[in-house]
Amino acid sequence: MRSRLFVGAVACVLCASACGGVATGSKTSSSSTDCGNQVKIGAPYPLSGDWAENGQNSLQGMEIAAAAINADGGIKNLKGAKIDIVSADTSSDNPAQAKTVTTNMLQGGDIAAIVGSYLSSLTLTTVVATESAHVPLITQSYVDELTQKGYKYVFQIAPKASAFGATTIKALQGLYKNAGKPLKSIVIVGGDDASNKAQADAVGTSAKTAGLTVADTVVFPDGLTDAQPIVGKIVAAKADAIVLGGNLPDMSLIIKGVRAQGVNTPIAAPGGGGGLTPQFAPTLGALSDGVMDLAAWNEDLQLPGVKEASAAYNKQYKQFMPQEAGESWAAVYEIAQVMNDKKTCDPQKIADGLRTTEFTSGPASAIPPGKVAYDKSGANKYITPVMVQWQSGDLKTIYPEKLATAKPILD
């Protein structure tokens, strides 16, 4: 893993992209004279429970961005104001708590923007709080519903669940074809949270549209203690591919159970979840090799600032920089760029800037394919999911070919 600090390199990137730090601002502030010397960006994430690792990774990605921006002199057009990341624990399984902690976070009127809350079931309530307060929310949650309700302050940096479903099938078909392997049927297995259910539905619809047989669809509750009933259904399906979503503890139980039955069918996750966490390979050891997952971001992408950020993340946290950390890292840079360009820390003006800005350079653009812009619904209109695969303990991008850094292994 890369381990060198990237302050000098990031400084160059920041100068080129006009992204700096941020400042503590009230909802009524609109210029550098109003913002003080610090701006707060909220980070409501699951920091306890089954999804705590993903929430912590997301928070750490924000902190890496803030540290680099602050070290480079802060937001230049806000008199060098610095970013302060304010975190709160949403829990992993209580959407009401996600709304409450976000509401409490916003009561002081000094939060310029929010990035959160990773898990879709949590973000669906977080967004209620941010909409009420008229504060922009950049989220890496997948559920389509976020951009279907007419919200004015939500910005979905990640692909929608429906896009993940279609891309999962398209990627598997392409990879199987190139490997000379038949792909006629799949079995869909996933947790019962909002995101996983939406992704499973999208995968099923896309599979049928592509002429594939869905041998079975298995839904399980988060927090499995016994995976054998699920494993039995997977084995009985005798499918050509297993599409498996869920958190790390649940996925690891299922994968260990399936492999213990002598089933070596390729496994692909339909986006996010436990398959992208740094602990996936250490938890599963050799069983992690070959497992694929669809991602909105990966640390080996050849995009602005990614190499430097992942090096800093590795040095700071002693692990590679996962998808959710990369998304939240880029989100902070987007907020910073808007504040710098518009010379404001006012949430309304930041939201306006996010709606109208095309991020085409610097770390703010470092989401596949290398540019970001939000449509009227708040969806990222350019997002391109990538298929990644665990190979010898590292997560490698294998699809699409133009972004791939390694060849796929389907044996």
pLDDT tens per residue across span 118-143? 999 999 999 999 999 999 999 999 88
Tokens 């992208």 found at: 276
Q: Report the percent of the chain where pLDDT is more than 90.
A: 82
The residue ranges of every structural domain in the chain are 7-159+299-380, 162-295+387-399
Q: Is the pLDDT of residue 16 over 60?
A: no
Q: What is the pLDDT of residues 191-235, one digit of tens each?
A: 988 778 888 999 999 999 999 999 999 999 989 999 999 999 999
Looking at the DSSP bridge assignments, the partners of residue 138 are 115, 155
- Residue 306 burial class via C-beta count within 10 angstroms: exposed 0-12, middle 13-18, buried 19 and up: buried
- Assigned fold of 162-295+387-399: Rossmann fold (3.40.50)
Beta pairing class for 386-391 and 394-399: antiparallel
Q: Is the pLDDT of residue 397 over 80?
A: yes
d(CA 275, CA 249): 10
Beta pairing class for 137-139 and 154-156: parallel
Identify the pLDDT of residue 163. Answer: 86
Q: Does the 7-159+299-380 domain belong in CATH 3.40.50.2300?
A: yes
d(CA 163, CA 177): 21
Q: Is the pLDDT of residue 30 over 90?
A: no
End-to-end C-alpha distance for the chain, whole angstroms: 25
Q: Is the pLDDT of residue 167 over 60?
A: yes
- Looking at residues 305-324, what average pLDDT do you find? 96
Q: Report the percent of the chain where pLDDT is more than 70.
A: 92
Identify the pLDDT of residue 162. Answer: 83
Q: pLDDT band at residue 272, thresholds of 50, 70 and 90?
A: confident
Identify the pLDDT of residue 37. Answer: 95
**CB-based contact 51:273 (threshold 8 Å):** no
- Looking at residues 312-335, what average pLDDT do you find? 96
* Mean pLDDT estimate for the chain: 90
